[in-house]
Structure 1
Amino acid sequence: MTPDPYPPPEFTLTVQAADARTLRLAIHGYLDYDTSDEFTPAVDEVLDAHAERHGPVLRHLHLDWADLTAFDSSGLSALLALRRHTHPAGITLHLHHQPTYFSRLLEVTGVMGHLTQHAHGTGSPEAALP
């Protein structure tokens, strides 16, 4: 049997660093149509483990995109779903080392500011602000 000339795209997520209020994750490989359904459960698993260990005190989720290979509208949808999950919990997303094509898609769709908008903690005085 000959090897498949088009192997399935791969996606992995690794924890780079963590403390009670900050978590740093690296995204590797593809975040596209074929893998975007893996992104949300993978991040949720890390967030759940963090909350188990530290409680609901996480405030900053840093995502490192340096090893991203591909990103499309399905990946963008998964990233927006992550924002919908984290923002109400008071967790601000920070995006680092974005490849040009990633930044361009965020720019063209106008979501960069939305994704990285500062989240107010649910128990903080800022949460009461309109």
Structure 2
Amino acid sequence: MNSTPCPPAEFTMTVQAADAHTLRVAIHGYLDYDTSDEFAPALDELLDAHAEQHGPALRHLRLDWANLTAFDSSGLSALLALRRRTHPAGITLHLHHQPTYLTRLLEVTGVMGHLTQHARGAGSPEAAIP
């Protein structure tokens, strides 16, 4: 019996557009057990670079999932960790072009509304309200 080695799962992100208030990022490949540890540091790097260039003006992080090929509970955990970073900073997550399986997972787990809840501006009096 011949065995063919499976190539490692691939994960990349590309910045599609950016201005002071909005950053649009395309997710490519797998966001799963094998790659989810790459997601947070890669997005942290993008967010830090954006803040360095524009200051704390970012209000919308738009994630384009059109080229996502796999997503599992580890990807969900990474996405929730991203929300924990962005929401207190006044950055609202927007999910675009997600495949049906991603939408279904977010709805079944009840986190779709939580992930995309409008973030209040960091430092505003409303931001202190739970």
* TM-score over 0.5 for the pair: yes
TM-score class, shorter: over 0.9
How far is the alpha carbon of 1:129 from its aligned partner? 4.9
Q: How does 1:20-39 map to 2 (within 5 A)?
A: 20-39=20-39
Report the counterpart of residue 117 of structure 1 in structure 2. 117
1:126 CA drift (Å): 3.5
Question: Match of 2:47?
Answer: 47
Instruction: State, as a whole percentage, how many aligned pairs show the same letter.
Output: 84
Q: TM-score, normalised by structure 2?
A: 0.94
- Separation in structure 1 between the aligned mates of residue 11 and residue 4 of structure 2, nearest angstrom: 18
Q: Which runs of 4+ in 1 moved over 6 A?
A: none
Structure 1 alignment gaps of length 5 or more: none
Aligned position for 1:11: 11
TM-score by length of 1: 0.94
CA–CA separation in structure 1 for the residues paired with 2:39 and 2:109: 20
CA RMSD of aligned residues (A): 1.7
Q: Please list every run of 5 or more consecutive structure 2 residues that lacks an aligned counterpart in the other structure.
A: none
Tell me what 1:62 maps to: 62
Q: State how many pairs are aligned.
A: 129
